[in-house]
Amino acid sequence: MVRALSGERLWPPPVWMMRQAGRYLPEYREARKAKPNFLDFCYDTDLATEVTLQPIRRYGFDAAILFSDIFVVPDALGYPVRFEEGRGPVLEPLSETLVRGLDRERAKSHLDPVIATVKRLREELPRETGLLGFCGAPWTVACYSVAGHTTQDQTAARIGSYRDPDLLQAFIDELVPASIDYLVRQLEAGADAVQIFDTWAGVLDDEGFKRWSVAPTREIVSGVKARARDARIIGFPKASAARLFDYIEETGVDAMGLDWTVPASLAREIQKKVPIQGNMDPMRLVAGGRALDEGVDRVLEELGRGPLVFNLGHGVTPDADPDNVKRMVDRVRQAG
């Protein structure tokens, strides 16, 4: 994975999946019973290490990704966050009072258990297996904060960005330095690369994309590289195909994660600038059979001539059959 992210064309390409440690695995569901509170589960070094390693033991992926959540950063800052079964993350609606109460010093100590997990993983992973850390992009984290929960097309966050951009900017200005520190600490603890997930970048108009997605990401990339010069940073602004070249140029990311809507012709052009990661539709993993095989083959045939990390175009879903994951990994590996 590290070689591919450094620009080397490998055949077959390395393979891992976003959300590969998760609810589709029976062993994960069993481990999850130990801590009903999801954030407590994320902060438990023993449990987080165990579930990160589960898909490596089962499938031998070329990289493990730290089991955590994008909301540990606002939680560590002191922003009220909870997870509800069947609903996901629920945050207190954004306010000036909440922003004024955020504490960056608190964040550092609060995230110590996550950093301990990274260190443990680096010790326990096979030498040939890469380790990825990550954070949520400030815009995506903020989307849930404006409304207090996710909404269709993030309409509440978009409206909020127009009605009170100063409040949103103040919140993002707290998330950026906290995210920089968090990613640097992951790299220092043993992560080989980090990814910035901007799941909701695609809902923004051009002006909003530049201000709320690109600008904070550029600050994070610059801040991380100032402290960890050799850092490899993967950008993932989902559903932003038409804007990806500008995103690469303006943020300075080292590689691009591509969702399944990015055409192969565009992906190949991006690949001339930076290594790419992706981009099979996660639903092919659910469908299985011929649809899965054709999806794997398409990515390998159309994108395998340049630096590529084979991955899904977004996270694996809970309804995916573990046997289909094995079939996918085997098919990638057998291409060699």
Give the catalytic positions in this structure.
19, 23, 32, 69, 144
Residues 192/254, Cβ–Cβ less than 8 Å: no
Residues 167/94, Cβ–Cβ less than 8 Å: yes
Residue type for 332, please? V
